[in-house]
Copies of this chain bind each other. A is one copy, B any other.
Amino acid sequence: MSIKEEIMKTLKQEILTLTLKPGAILSETVLSERFQISRTPLRDVLKQLSLEAYIDVYPKKGNLVSYIDLESVEQIIFLRSALEKEIIKYLSEHLALKGVHELKDILDRQKAVILEDAATEPFLNLDDAFHAALFRLAGREYLWNLIQQSNVHYVRYRRLHMLRKEKLEEIWDEHQRILEYMTRRETGKLEALIHHHLREDINSLYLQENFADYIRG
C-alpha cells in the first residue's frame, strides 16, 4: 500500500471514529509535518477526502472536518432502503445454503460480542459485514462499494446512535428476523422490516440533544 493510501486510510478512520471531531482543522502544513511528507501528495489526499465529504474546504482559509449532515443521512438511508429491498427480494429466491451459513456465522459472532459486553467497535464492524454480505451474495458488491464512498455522515450518525447499549440487541434481533424471513421466502414481511431497520432512528432527536456540537447547523 502506498504512503498516500496509508495516510488516507488513517485520516478516514480518525474521522469516522470521531477521533477527529467535526470542526477540527486539517492544516496542510501540520499534516505534512505529522506524516513527514510534502504538501503536494497531501493535497491529493485532501482532495479525495473533500470529494467524499470527509472535510469541507474553504479556499485560502482552511480545511475542516465536516459536521454531520442529517439531510445527507436521511437521503442515504432512503437509498440503502430502496436497494436492500430489491436485494432481499432477489435473495429470497436465489440465496444458496452456503450464503445462509455465512450470514448465520456473522450473526453468531455478533451475538457473542453483545454477550461479552465488548466495545461498540466490533459490533459495528459485524453490522457492516452483515449488510455487505447481503450485497455481495446478490452480486451487488459494486453498489456496496459505491455507497461506501458517500457514507461519512451516515457512518458517524450510526456510531453515535449505537452508544446506547439497548440498541444493539434490537438491531441484532432485526438482522435475525431478516435472515429468517429470507430463508422462509416470506417476502411480504421483509419490505416493512428493512424499512424499519434502516429508518427507525432518523426521526428521533437523540443526536440533536446529545451531540449538537457535531451536527451541521
By a beta-carbon cutoff of 8 Å, the part of chain A in contact with chain B is: 40, 43-44, 47-48, 51, 71-72, 75, 78-79, 81-83, 85-86, 140, 142-143, 146, 150
Residues of B within 8 Å of A72, CB to CB, are: 142
Distance (whole angstroms) from the CB of A143 to the closest CB of chain B:
6
Distance (whole angstroms) from the CB of A150 to the closest CB of chain B:
6
Residues of B within 8 Å of A81, CB to CB, are: 86
21 contacts between A and B (CB under 8 A): A40-B40, A43-B44, A44-B47, A47-B47, A47-B48, A51-B51, A71-B142, A75-B140, A75-B143, A75-B146, A78-B86, A78-B140, A78-B143, A79-B83, A79-B143, A79-B146, A81-B86, A82-B82, A82-B85, A82-B86, A83-B83
10 smallest A-B Cβ distances: which pairs? A75-B142, A82-B86, A82-B82, A82-B83, A47-B47, A75-B143, A51-B51, A79-B143, A146-B150, A44-B47
Distance (whole angstroms) from the CB of A55 to the closest CB of chain B:
15
Residues of B within 8 Å of A47, CB to CB, are: 44, 47-48
